[in-house]
A = this chain, B = another copy of it.
Amino acid sequence: MKQKSFADMRCSIARSLEMIGPWWSFLILRDAFMGATRFKDFERSLGIAKNTLSNRLKLLVDNGLLSKDVEPDGSKYAKYHLTEKGRELFPVMVAITQWGGKWAVHEDGPSFEIIDKRTNRNIPPLALLGSDGQPLPEEAIGVKPAST
């Protein structure tokens, strides 16, 4: 009984989770955002088994979230970089980071913070905006199922 796939579901959340992949994949992307590019970078940071890492990286490359590039910097070891598709997951990272900062924080505090470089201060919570571009009051949030 193989693991069920979300890939044929219509819901964008399910499809996104399927595309990102399970577990480790998200942390691999996190490290990519933090500057990791090499197989060893990810392995060291995550303490992940090499075969698992290898499979995850392949999946992320196949799904277009990372690219595996041979650099013109002299080295023959490839580097993994976020694609545009991968980079656009940044708001998801921020949303989870902010949630975790409130509800899942380590006793020693978080390992990193997302800041406004101009002021070196934390950024405020991600803002839900209404169709007018102004902050969206909670009672105005709605979910509309597809009509078809």
Q: Which residues of A contact B (CB under 8 A)?
A: 3-4, 6, 9-19, 22-23, 26-27, 30, 33-34, 47-48, 85, 88-106, 108-133, 136, 139-146, 148
* CB-nearest residue of chain B to A105: B12
Once the chains are docked, how many angstroms separate the CA of A133 from the CA of B30?
25
Do A88 and B103 form a contact, CB below 8 Å, given A17-B27, A33-B143? Answer: yes
Once the chains are docked, how many angstroms separate the CA of A29 from the CA of B120?
34
| B91 & A128 in contact (Cβ 8 Å cutoff) | yes
Once the chains are docked, how many angstroms separate the CA of A95 from the CA of B101?
17
Do A12 and B101 form a contact, CB below 8 Å, given A108-B148, A116-B136, A129-B127? Answer: yes
Once the chains are docked, how many angstroms separate the CA of A94 from the CA of B125?
13
- B15, B94, B127, B140: the one contacting A116 at CB < 8 Å is B140
Secondary structure at chain A's binding surface: helix, strand, loop or mixed?
mixed
Copies in the complex: 2
| B111 & A10 in contact (Cβ 8 Å cutoff) | yes
Residues of B within 8 A of A145 (CB): 111-112
| B103 & A98 in contact (Cβ 8 Å cutoff) | no
Do A91 and B100 form a contact, CB below 8 Å, given A112-B146, A126-B126? Answer: no
Once the chains are docked, how many angstroms separate the CA of A26 from the CA of B23?
12
| A142 & B129 in contact (Cβ 8 Å cutoff) | no
